[in-house]
């Protein structure tokens, strides 16, 4: 490795982040081309189905004759298969690149070492593992989906200072402030789907859409075992793709998919297995307490983000109780305090 390698790879990681929400189900990838210590081209995977990061970065190089003397930094192993676009490994070889630095190997079975092998077979010097942990965090949803064979689960709720997330009988109460609400909409844009249970859907009548923040709309997921949601509720309005998980037989609806589950088997594993087959890589779970506690008790979570408000209710629906390590971040968000946990797999929730 060279002294400035980390600087250029970190730039590539920053570029990769710009594809958040739009590149999925593809990974976030950034690429930087450096000639004699100066960036001469850079790009990222901007949108699923569009050019990959390497294509955009090489196209940005004004003088391709410099490529054989340049060092290319890419955050993920270049692909070696034909998907929506041709293999990026072939492009690097064809352009005469001779020096490539890679942050992470690709776990996707159609790549998984083949891209690196193809580059090396062409005589290209390849170095791997630079800022690997930062790269894995950036693409944690992609890695988790391919390695663990289930979606990455982010549990989120707001609770009062005395530990409630709703009033008595699920009466709606505005717990968190406007800053927390805005951040929640950002998070919705970052995840591929949003999940709620029956009672939350019934009592809150949520839209589960991204508002006041740029980004794609997630797929809405609702557990409604007995199809008890009235047709006037927002989740059935057909405004965005929605999956309803039920024990009843499906009925036709616009922009709505009903998935009938088996009552003989545990519900949540069936939901997660179905989402894996649908290539849903990440889910933001916004409630309610039954779904949240079931996932916590089963150890089926990867991040927990809790807004704690200064408000006190005195009574109501209790928020999940946590006994966790893995606190990644604690900070103020307006009048609320955010607690952000990452599952270290050693200390399950209880």
Q: Please check if 67 is assigned to a binding site.
A: no
Catalytic residue among 42, 54, 77, 303: 54
Q: Please check if 154 is assigned to a binding site.
A: no
Q: Please check if 88 is assigned to a binding site.
A: yes
State yes or no: is 42 an active-site residue.
no
Q: Please check if 293 is assigned to a binding site.
A: yes
Residue 283 backbone phi and psi in degrees, to 5: -135, 130
Cα 73 to chain center, whole Å? 23
Q: Please check if 188 is assigned to a binding site.
A: yes
Whether the ω angle into residue 288 lies within 30 degrees of 0, i.e. cis, is: yes
Q: Please check if 11 is assigned to a binding site.
A: no
Q: Please check if 103 is assigned to a binding site.
A: no
Please, which residues have CB within 8 angstroms of residue 269's CB and are 6 or more apart in sequence?
Answer: none
Q: Per-residue DSSP letters for 63-104?
A: -GGGGGG-EEEEEE----S-SSS--HHHHHHHTT--EEEEEE
Sheet hosting strand 303-308, strand order edge to edge:
256-260, 242-246, 219-223, 193-196, 282-285, 152-159, 303-308, 336-342, 327-333
Which residue carries 């990769």 as its tokens? Answer: 16
Q: Please check if 224 is assigned to a binding site.
A: no
Tell me the pairing of strands 282-285 and 303-308: unpaired
Closest listed residue to residue 218, CA positions, set 20, 44, 8, 5:
20
Q: Please check if 255 is assigned to a binding site.
A: no
Q: Please check if 198 is assigned to a binding site.
A: no
Q: Please check if 38 is assigned to a binding site.
A: no
* Active-site residue set: 54
Binding residues: 52, 79, 88, 158, 188, 200, 204, 208, 211, 286, 288-294
Known binding residues for NADP(+): 158, 200, 204, 288-294
Binding residues for Zn(2+): 52, 79, 88
């Amino acid at each position: 490795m060279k002294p400035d390698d980390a600087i250029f790879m970190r730039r590539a990681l920053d570029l990769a982040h710009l594809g958040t929400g739009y590149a999925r189900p593809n990974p976030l990838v950034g690429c930087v081309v450096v000639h004699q210590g100066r960036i001469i081209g850079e790009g990222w995977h901007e949108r699923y189905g569009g050019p990959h990061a390497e294509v955009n970065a090489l196209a940005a190089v004004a003088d391709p004759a410099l490529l054989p003397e340049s060092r290319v930094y890419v955050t993920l192993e270049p692909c070696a298969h034909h998907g929506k676009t041709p293999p990026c490994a072939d492009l690097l070889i064809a352009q005469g690149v001779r020096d490539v630095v890679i942050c992470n190997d690709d776990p996707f079975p159609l790549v998984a070492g083949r891209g690196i092998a193809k580059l090396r077979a062409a005589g290209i010097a390849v170095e791997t593992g630079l800022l690997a942990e930062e790269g894995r965090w950036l693409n944690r949803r992609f890695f988790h989906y391919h390695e663990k064979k289930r979606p990455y689960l982010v549990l989120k709720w707001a609770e009062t200072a005395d530990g409630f997330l709703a009033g008595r009988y699920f009466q709606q109460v505005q717990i968190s402030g406007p800053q927390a609400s805005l951040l929640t909409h950002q998070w919705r844009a970052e995840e591929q789907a949003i999940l709620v249970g029956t009672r939350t859907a019934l009592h809150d009548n949520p839209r589960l859409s991204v508002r006041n923040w740029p980004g794609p709309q997630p797929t809405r997921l609702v557990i409604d075992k007995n199809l008890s949601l009235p047709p006037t509720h927002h989740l059935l309005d057909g405004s965005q793709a929605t999956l309803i998980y039920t024990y009843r037989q499906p009925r036709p609806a616009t922009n709505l998919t009903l998935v009938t589950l088996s009552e003989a088997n545990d519900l949540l594993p069936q939901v997660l297995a179905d989402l894996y087959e649908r290539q849903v890589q990440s889910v933001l779970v916004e409630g309610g307490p039954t779904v949240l506690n079931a996932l916590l008790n089963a150890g089926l979570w990867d991040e927990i983000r809790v807004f704690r408000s200064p408000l006190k209710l005195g009574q109501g629906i209790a928020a999940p109780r946590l006994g966790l390590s893995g606190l990644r971040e604690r900070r103020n968000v307006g009048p609320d305090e955010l607690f952000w946990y990452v599952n270290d797999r050693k200390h399950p929730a209880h």
